[in-house]
Amino acid sequence: MYAKKECVAMLLAGGQGSRLYALTRRIAKPAVPFGGRYRIIDFPLSNCTNSGIDTVGVLTQYEHRALHAYIGSGLPWDLDRTNGGVHHLPPYMSNHDSQWYKGTANAIYQNIPFVDQYDPEYVLILSGDHIYKMDYAAMLAEHKKNNADCTIAVIDVPLNEASRFGILSADESGRITKFAEKPKNPESTLASMGIYIFTWKELRARLIADEADPESENDFGKNIIPTMLNDGARMFVHTFEGYWKDVGTIDSYWEANMDMLAPESGLNLTDPSWRIYARTPVSPPQFIADGASVNDALIADGCYVAGNIEESVLFNDVRVGKDAKVRYSILMPGTVVEDGATVEFAIVAENVTIGRNAHVGSSEIDSEGKRITVIGSDQTVAADAVVEPGSMLG
């Protein structure tokens, strides 16, 4: 028996992240490095810790080994608990069935026994691929105040972007009146953030009914939420006004990293009252050599810089040689930029070597409108080679 919990979080972290292409060739999207010392999944895990939610199920599927190894027992996020803590929940074989998670709702359905053992009043559903800081306790308080069956976190988005999201309409009390998944002609700019709080008794019954429907796609946005709304369930919005970005594309991932260099972006990770925790490697201090130049950059431990860095993010143990130039780029752990090489507007994955005098990317835009150059992990760019803007290696 486990101690009863008021709220259990279920973190959906099994996505392949196919729109990140080479960056997710070997790891799931939530495990992709971010911001010089973090991984994407650090944000929802840290939000849980800061919000007082100490029981988190992490639902994994695609290339889960690196993600499981990174999270481990949950110690960096204070989630190594005897009662509660973090739990890895990949698909598994039962005595009557085994299958991959078919959709977001099916993933929770397959883990009903896990949730039941904590007998919670509420379940918080999270995505593992967003960058933001959010107090889930405040959202839960609203949910309880409204005696809601479901509360959906929403953010106001520009009308021209609304068709990318699940769009909601709500009355003056915040009660949801309409919901459309990625509508062509949105009637509102309130976009679902993919963050839900459900009263567990209500959700449990809905999941079982949804699984029994052979026509269902077993998805929250396509099935569970529309069905609840049509049935008159008490559903409310929780409006979020801070920084939030879905880093599911190359451009959005690059932009979010660059936002860390811009104080006006709203992405502030220096607030001691709401820290983002991470499992960080043990590396020696960074070293900036005589003659090097660094302007508006994040440089992690273990880096050796002898060249010129501008508006860039360098993860741990990156080496930048003499007369090399790195501009508006992201260099992940173990990257080596040899003497005289230039890297511009690029994302360079782990353990890449860029040879002497090579030129990777530029500020130009290619014929398809792409500007960011991507080098996948463990690649080598030969000396004097030129990698055109918008290219992707690996």
Give the tens place of pLDDT for each residue, 95-147: 556 578 889 999 999 999 999 999 999 999 999 989 999 999 999 999 999 99
| DSSP β-ladder status, 373-375 and 346-348 | parallel
Give tens-digit pLDDT for 333-378.
999 999 999 999 999 999 999 999 999 999 888 767 778 999 999 9
Give 98: exposed, middle or buried? Use CB within 10 Å, 0-12, 13-18, 19+. exposed
**Cα maximum dimension of the chain:** 69
| DSSP β-ladder status, 353-354 and 386-387 | unpaired
Q: How far apart are CA 79 and CA 147, in angstroms?
A: 29
**Cβ atoms 327, 371 nearer than 8 A:** no
Give tens-digit pLDDT for 199-227.
999 999 999 999 999 999 999 999 999 99
Residue type, 89: L
3-state secondary structure (DSSP) of residue 327? strand
Q: What's the average model confidence in pLDDT over 184-209?
A: 96
Question: In b/e form, how buried is each residue of 306-325, taking b as 16+ CB within 10 angstroms?
Answer: bbbbebbbbbbbbbbbebbb
pLDDT higher than 70, residue 93 = no
- Which tokens belong to 142? 């609203």
pLDDT score of 6: 97
pLDDT higher than 80, residue 94 = no
Under the banding of pLDDT at 50, 70 and 90, the label for residue 180 is very high
pLDDT score of 17: 64
3-state secondary structure (DSSP) of residue 143? helix
Nearest to residue 195, comparing CAs of 243, 247, 123, 267? 123
pLDDT higher than 90, residue 252 = yes
CA–chain centroid gap for 332, Å, is: 17
Q: How far apart are CA 175 and CA 151, in angstroms?
A: 9
Q: How far apart are CA 321 and CA 6, in angstroms?
A: 54
Task: Return the bridge partners of 309, or none.
Answer: 294, 326
Higher pLDDT, 224 or 82: 224
